[in-house]
Structure 1
Amino acid sequence: MPALRAPHHLKFKRGFSEDLRVVSSSLTENDYHHVADATMEVMAEKLEAYVEESDVDGGDVEYSQGVLTVKLGPKGTFVVNKQTPNRQIWLSSPVSGPFRFDYEGGRWRYSRDHRDLLLLLQEEIGGLVGRPLQLE
Structure 2
Amino acid sequence: MSLDDSRFNTLADDLIEGLADAIDEALGDRLDADLHGAVLTITIKGGGQYVVNKNGPMKQVWLSSPVSGAWHFDYADGDWISTRAPKVTLDSVLAGELEATFGVRVEF
- In the superposition, the TM-score normalised over structure 1's length comes to 0.75
Corresponding position of 2:91: 118
For residues 39-63 of structure 1, the C-alpha deviation after alignment (integer angstroms, 9 at most, x for no partner) is: 11111111111122xx31xx20101
**Kept after mapping to 2: 8 A contact 1:75/1:128:** no
Counterparts of 1:91-110 in structure 2 under 5 Å? 91-110=63-82
Deviation beyond 2 Å, 4+ runs, structure 1: none
Task: Give, in angstroms, the shift of residue 104 of structure 1.
Answer: 0.8
In the alignment, what sits opposite 1:69? Answer: 41
Paired residues in the alignment total 107
Unaligned runs of at least 5 residues, structure 1 = 1-21
Q: Which runs of 5+ in 2 are unaligned?
A: none
Residue 75 of structure 1 deviates from its aligned partner by 4.3
Q: Give the distance between the partners of 1:46 and 1:38, measured in 2 at CA.
A: 12
1:77 and 1:124 map into 2 onto residues whose CA distance is 12
The CA RMSD over aligned residues, in Å, is 1.1
1:112 is displaced (CA, Å) by 2.1
Q: Look up the equivalent residue of 1:130 and give its one-letter code.
A: G
Aligned equivalents of 2:5 and 2:50: distance in 1?
Answer: 25
Q: TM-score, normalised by structure 2?
A: 0.93
